[in-house]
């Protein structure tokens, strides 16, 4: 019975301390490193999309071209693939840049163009787990509007910033 007032007083004091505690959100600043210049590349494609070698010639050079039919469907050319590398972003644990390949308005590949995490084991471990997830999210979203990975906030923010830069370079 003698401890009851002490316990009640300590409980009230603890409750007041918890309720008066105010947190401040952490500010995240990602400084950009000057971008590397990599020209977009085009991938030659054949009409079937499977080979880039020309079809074998079936007519001699002196023979006239075959007559054209007025019912021939208009030919459509497949859009060329464009590739760009986003700006190198300092994400507080290293520097990364994202490469993206786009076919028309569809993102066909997202990957890491360069990654320097300073050899830090913990950073390497986080990057190995989070980057494949971030690449998958970018492919599913078809944009830089990705959700990110819990526990890899800095990596996620740096990835999204570099991805947005790469998408801007290819015109998306």
> Domain segments of the chain: what residues?
78-172
CB crowding 124-145: b at 16 or more within 10 Å, else e: eebbeebbebbbebbeeeeebe
Task: Tell me: pLDDT of 62 over 90.
Answer: no
On average, the pLDDT of the chain sits at 77
Q: What residues contact 93, with CB distance under 8 A and at least 6 apart? A: 117, 118, 120, 123, 126, 154, 155
CATH class of 78-172: alpha beta
Q: How confident is the model at residue 61 (pLDDT cuts 50, 70, 90)?
A: very low
Task: Tell me: pLDDT of 26 over 80.
Answer: no
Beta pairing partners, 90: 95
Q: Which of 70-84, 87-101, 151-165 has the lowest mean pLDDT?
A: 70-84
Task: Tell me: pLDDT of 167 over 90.
Answer: yes
């Amino acid at each position: 019975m003698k401890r009851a007032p002490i316990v009640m007083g300590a409980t009230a004091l603890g409750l007041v301390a918890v309720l008066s505690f105010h947190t401040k959100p952490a500010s995240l600043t990602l400084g950009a490193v000057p971008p590397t210049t990599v020209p977009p590349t085009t991938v030659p494609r054949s009409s079937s999309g499977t080979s880039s070698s020309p079809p074998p010639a079936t007519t001699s050079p002196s023979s006239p071209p075959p007559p054209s039919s007025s019912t021939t469907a208009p030919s459509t050319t497949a859009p060329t693939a464009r590739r760009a590398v986003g700006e190198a972003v300092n994400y507080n644990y290293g520097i990364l840049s994202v490469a993206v390949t786009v076919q028309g308005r569809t993102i066909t590949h997202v990957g890491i163009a360069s990654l320097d995490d300073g050899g830090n084991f913990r950073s390497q471990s986080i990057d190995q787990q989070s980057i494949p997830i971030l690449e998958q999210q970018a492919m599913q979203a078809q944009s830089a509007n990705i959700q990110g990975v819990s526990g890899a906030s800095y990596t996620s923010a740096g990835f999204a910033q570099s991805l947005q830069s790469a998408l801007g370079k290819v015109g998306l």
